[in-house]
């Protein structure tokens, strides 16, 4: 299953910062969506911390990063404060957006660990399960910007 070069499904979700984030309003920027299962689990904590640590480099490439899982915006806000995450987490109740991106377990009410990168024209240019490193995302964006 691949989504590469397809138009990314649009969505609007509540953010840990209190604002509503719409993908369509982010056109012109690269967008990284980090679908992850749960807050406060070892692998999720490490993955999100890695992206937070790399955020300045990603932002310098014109990239916006968002974590997504079904937890409430308030739980995300508390989690961001505790873990010192510097990018918003989006609340996706029922995993509706995760389902659009084929990043929802189905038999468990949690996300499959999936990273999606959307280019400035709203096309999916990267889709990978697991925990790809932020450096891999940065290298991809840099190579696309040189073309």
Q: What is the count of structural domains for the chain?
A: 1
Is-contact 69 112, C-beta < 8 A? no
Provide the CATH number for the domain around residue 92: 3.40.30.10
What DSSP letter does each residue of 44-96 carry, written as one string?
A: HHHHHHHHHHTHHHHHHTTEEEEEEESS-HHHHHHHHHHHT--S-EEE-GGGH
Instruction: Evaluate whether residue 6 is within a structural domain.
Output: no
CB atoms < 10 A from the CB of 147, how many?
A: 4
Query: Residue 2: what pLDDT?
Result: 63
In a domain, 64, yes or no: yes
| pTM, two decimal places | 0.96
Distance from C-alpha of 128 to C-alpha of 37, rounded to nearest angstrom: 15
**In a domain? residue 1:** no
Flag whether 7 is in a domain: no
Residue 125 lies in a domain: yes
| Gyration radius from the chain CA atoms | 14
51: in domain: yes
Shortest CA distance to 72 belongs to which of 107, 39, 97?
Answer: 39
**pLDDT tens per residue, the chain (147 residues)?**
468 999 999 999 999 999 999 999 999 999 999 999 999 999 999 999 999 999 999 999 999 999 999 999 999 999 999 999 999 999 999 999 999 999 999 888 899 999 999 999 999 999 999 999 999 999 999 999 886
Q: Which residues are catalytic?
A: 44
Identify the pLDDT of residue 109: 87
Q: Is residue 2 part of a domain?
A: no
d(CA 122, CA 120): 5
Domain contains 3: no
pLDDT for position 1? 46
Provide the residue range defining the domain that includes 111: 12-146
């Amino acid at each position: 299953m691949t989504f590469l070069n397809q138009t990314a499904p649009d969505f609007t979700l509540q953010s840990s910062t209190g604002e509503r984030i719409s993908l369509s309003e982010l056109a012109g920027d690269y967008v990284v969506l980090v679908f992850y299962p749960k807050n406060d689990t070892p692998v999720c904590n490490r993955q999100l911390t890695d992206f937070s640590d790399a955020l300045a480099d990603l932002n310098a490439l014109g990239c916006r990063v968002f974590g997504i899982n079904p937890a409430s915006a308030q739980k995300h806000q508390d989690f961001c404060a505790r873990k010192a995450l510097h990018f918003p987490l989006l609340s996706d109740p029922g995993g509706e957006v995760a389902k659009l991106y084929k990043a929802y377990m189905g038999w468990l009410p949690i996300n499959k660990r999936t990273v999606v990168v959307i280019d400035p024209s709203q096309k999916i240019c990267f889709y990978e399960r697991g925990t790809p490193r932020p450096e891999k995302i940065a290298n991809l964006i840099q190579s696309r910007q040189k073309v």
